[in-house]
Amino acid sequence: MHFTDDSMKLTEEEKKFLLELARKSIQHYLSTGNKLQLDPSEVPSKNLVENGACFVSLHKGKELRGCIGSLEAKRPLFMDVIENAVASAVGDPRFYPLTSIELQKVRISISVLTEPMELPVNSPEELLEKLIPDKHGLIIRQGIARATFLPVVWEQLQEKEEFLKHLSMKAGLPPDGWKDPKTKFFVYEAIEFSE
């Protein structure tokens, strides 16, 4: 599903299906140790069988409890949700693996991404000018260093400089790594929905 800004639409039924699928995938994995297998014919909409990229985030209260995702659409969206839901529950290196009991207290959010587009900039000032808070997710890349913040991160980091400083550090760059002329930027948007 290579969304463009104007085609970014998922129905309420599709969102509900993906959220239920994420929860079911985690439950299945925690109880069996295997990933949930779902035939494309069991998916209620062809939209969800097209290639898509998503992030699955787990929250316990206001705290993040896991977040893993894909930046590029390389497999059907429903499969990306299954893989990333399980990975966010048991594979996020920042957290210990989720337990079945804990899963009951966790709220699941999904962000379905548009295709990242390079944001050509010639100066830090131009980047600050082009970056749109609450709309843009941003990928920062310099050599092998790479990191992203979803658009929802703007809720915590509302100042552009703070957002860029934290994203640079997440990529393993110095806090002002975003000002380095060798740094490249890619923007995307996301449809975000939660349980």
Find out whether 58 and 67 touch, Cβ atoms under 8 Å.
Answer: yes
Residues of the chain with CATH 3.30.1490.150: 117-189
What token pair was written down for 40?
């494309």
List the alpha helices (DSSP H) in the chain: 12-32, 77-90, 100-103, 124-130, 160-170
Tell me what pLDDT residue 5 has. Answer: 44
**CATH superfamily, domain at 5-113:** Hypothetical protein ph0010; domain 1 (3.30.700.20)
Question: What torsion do the CA atoms of 165, 176, 150, 67 make, to the nearest 10 degrees?
Answer: -80
**CATH superfamily, domain at 117-189:** Hypothetical protein ph0010; domain 2 (3.30.1490.150)
Q: Environment class of residue 140 by beta-carbon count within 10 Å: exposed (0-12), middle (13-18) or buried (19+)?
A: buried
Q: pLDDT digits over 129-149, tens only?
A: 999 999 999 999 999 999 999
Question: Rounded CA gap, 12 and 18, in Å?
Answer: 10
Q: pLDDT digits over 183-193, tens only?
A: 999 999 999 99
Percent of residues, the chain, with pLDDT higher than 90? 86
Find out whether 189 and 168 touch, Cβ atoms under 8 Å.
Answer: no
Say what the pTM is: 0.86
Residues of the chain with CATH 3.30.700.20: 5-113
Give the residues across from 149 on adjacent strands: 138
Q: Say which residue, 98 or 3, is predicted with more confidence.
A: 98
Tell me what pLDDT residue 8 has. Answer: 59
Whether residue 6 has pLDDT greater than 60:
no
